[in-house]
Structure 1
Amino acid sequence: MFTIEHEFDATIVTLVDEGEAVLQEDVVVAAFEECVTVSQADPRSGEPVTVTLSMQQVRDLAAAMNLPEGAYRLR
């Protein structure tokens, strides 16, 4: 399950882990004009851990989802 919210300066997508297996904490993806952040609570400390991706890194990640193993550079 996931939710999408449109804020003033960002689009927020929350991914909720569902199922019978061991569940992970929710993942929150916030897309801003200049970057994308991915946050998840650390299950040991309860504190959020955030990774910030540049827009180029996001494009590279999207392209990588459909490519075989290897090293690539997008032009």
Structure 2
Amino acid sequence: MFTIEHDFDATVITLVDEAPPGTRPLNEDVVILNFDDRVVIEQMEPGGDGVSRIVLTMEQLNELRLALNLPEGNYRLAPP
């Protein structure tokens, strides 16, 4: 399950872990904040002591998107 909310300066996507009961422990929700110039991915740490945060530039996000569909190897995108 996921939700999408539009805030003033960001679109917020929340991914909710939904495993069938008893199959595995559930993970904390993943929150993705999409700004004009970056994407921030957040998830509560397992003990609830803090939040892990990853910040990606739009270029890094594009490379990640492309990498999901490529075979193993080293790649460099040509400059625009």
Deviation at 1:22, TM superposition (A): 1.4
Match of 1:35 in 2: 38
TM-score normalized with structure 1 length: 0.94
Structure 1 runs not aligned, ≥5 long = none
CA distance in 2 between partners of 1:55 and 1:7 (Å): 19
Instruction: Name the count of aligned residue pairs.
Output: 75
CA distance in 2 between partners of 1:66 and 1:24 (Å): 25
Instruction: Give the 5 Å matches for 1:50-61.
Output: 50-61=53-64
Identity %: 49
What is the RMSD of the two structures over their aligned residues, measured on CA atoms?
0.9
CA distance in 1 between partners of 2:18 and 2:42 (Å): 18
Structure 1 stretches of 4+ moved >6 Å: none
CA distance in 2 between partners of 1:31 and 1:60 (Å): 16
CA distance in 2 between partners of 1:61 and 1:73 (Å): 12
Match of 1:68 in 2: 71
CA distance in 2 between partners of 1:44 and 1:36 (Å): 25
Match of 1:24 in 2: 27
SS at match of 1:62: helix
Instruction: Provide, for residues 43-65 of structure 1, a one-character-per-residue CA deviation record: whole Å limited to 9, x for no partner.
Output: 12431111100111000000011
TM-score normalized with structure 2 length: 0.88
Structure 2 runs not aligned, ≥5 long = none
